[in-house]
Amino acid sequence: MLKAYQYRLYPSNAQERKLEATLETCRRWYNELLAERKTAYEERKETIGKYEQLRHVKDHKTASPWAKIVHSHVLQGVVSDLDKAFQAFFRRVKTGGKAGYPRFRGSNRFDSFGFKEYGNGFKVDGRRLRVTGIGRIAVRWHRQIEGRIKTLRLIRKASGWYACFTAEYEPTALPATGREVGVDVGIASLLTTSDGDTTPKQGWYRREQAKLRILQRRVARRSKGGSNRRKAVVALQRQHERIANQRKDFLNKQAHRLIAQYDRIAVEDLKITNMVKNRHLAKSILDAGWGSFVGRLHAKAEEAGRVVVEVNPAYTSKDCSGCGYRFEQLTLKDRWIDCPRCLLSLDRDHNAAINILKRAGNVLWELSSSIDGFSQEAAGL
């Protein structure tokens, strides 16, 4: 199994110049490859694929003094990145979405390059990261890497340079808890479980959003092209990055908590949720990173031998979890439900979470038999 780790880098001025130069070489190479594909198609209706372009790397290194000093894996990585952009484009064409042909990248639209083999172009060297052509870069190792490092990607962000590693490791199953849970996502509280737990109000989120608005206004006030505007833009980008990091961290913790406590977890199917619930809610769910939260939940579940099921969310809020009575008149403002038939009186999201768990019932138990076998095996039972 692969896991990603990201660390802040502290390159010296000379190293930073080399990182920037490598990025620029990659960007030009990317645009060159894209131009090649584009012309071949427009003039000769030919498709040039990844493998054909990979064969150009050697020639490119002899032809360009800039490419010469860049590791061939990095240049090959650019070919793969472009190919991925094309694959995504073809997928969108097929599914009939807004296609968007891959575009040429300007200097502020190209942010990373990568290595694919540990020990070939990069290596952890004491407390530093040795990268061919760049040097030994200082790293803030804020957490330990578990398993064997496979790849490295160097990323430029508004706040500086980062190293993103993938490492391969053997997952260990968590001991079974014998508990299951339904999770509802809402506006009042991000997550509510069928046990009635809610995530506390996120004070930091409102504070950080307020700061964001101040920075946005500052950018808008500054005149275009001036150095003050540029500074304001960087400050704004940093704030976006800061919020994204905090949110990621928060959702990661929530996913971790659920996985630790429950064997089986039921959540709403996001794709359907967006259609069923109103647009305002859909937006706040997207803002809250619900999609990446569910993704993380699945990933952690797989590691730990847990089960995650996504269910159809239709009427989970409007049906009584006690007797099935449907509250036709319920609006988003109503935070509490009182059932006239079975007299159930419950927080609206809590009721929804119970419905989600119920709906997942059969699926969960079917899946659980195979998973139980797995976790017992892993636990040596």
Residues that bind Zn ion (CB under 5 A): 320, 322-323, 325, 339, 341-342, 344
> Exactly one of 81, 180, 268, 347 is catalytic; which is it?
268
Find the shortest distance in angstroms from Cβ 189 to Zn ion.
Answer: 22
Which is it for the CA torsion 5, 7, 12, 18, positive or negative?
A: positive
> Exactly one of 81, 263, 347, 349 is catalytic; which is it?
349
The smaller minimum CB distance to Zn ion, of residues 192 and 355, is found at 355
Q: Across the strands, what pairs with 153?
A: 114, 164
The smaller minimum CB distance to Zn ion, of residues 23 and 346, is found at 346
> Exactly one of 81, 184, 263, 319 is catalytic; which is it?
184
CA trace torsion 11, 15, 17, 19 (10° rounding): -80
Picking from 298, 297, 299, 271, the residue whose alpha carbon sits closest to that of residue 285 is 271
The smaller minimum CB distance to Zn ion, of residues 135 and 322, is found at 322
How far apart CA 293 and CA 254 sit, in angstroms, is 8
Are the CB atoms for 138 and 9 separated by under 8 Å? yes
- Cα–Cα distances (Å) from 47 to 35, 36, 37, 39, 44, in that order, read 12, 10, 7, 10, 9
Give the rounded distance of the alpha carbon of 287 from its chain centre. Answer: 13
Find the shortest distance in angstroms from Cβ 354 to Zn ion.
Answer: 11
Picking from 133, 140, 144, 130, the residue whose alpha carbon sits closest to that of residue 161 is 140
Find the shortest distance in angstroms from Cβ 168 to Zn ion.
Answer: 50
The smaller minimum CB distance to Zn ion, of residues 172 and 345, is found at 345
How far apart CA 376 and CA 165 sit, in angstroms, is 31
Find the shortest distance in angstroms from Cβ 331 to Zn ion.
Answer: 19
- Cα–Cα distances (Å) from 256 to 304, 353, 369, in that order, read 10, 18, 23
Are the CB atoms for 164 and 4 separated by under 8 Å? yes
Find the shortest distance in angstroms from Cβ 340 to Zn ion.
Answer: 8
Let me know if 268 is a catalytic residue.
Answer: yes
Which two tokens mark 25? 């070489």
The smaller minimum CB distance to Zn ion, of residues 301 and 337, is found at 337
Find the shortest distance in angstroms from Cβ 184 to Zn ion.
Answer: 17
The smaller minimum CB distance to Zn ion, of residues 160 and 324, is found at 324
Show which residues are catalytic: 184, 268, 349
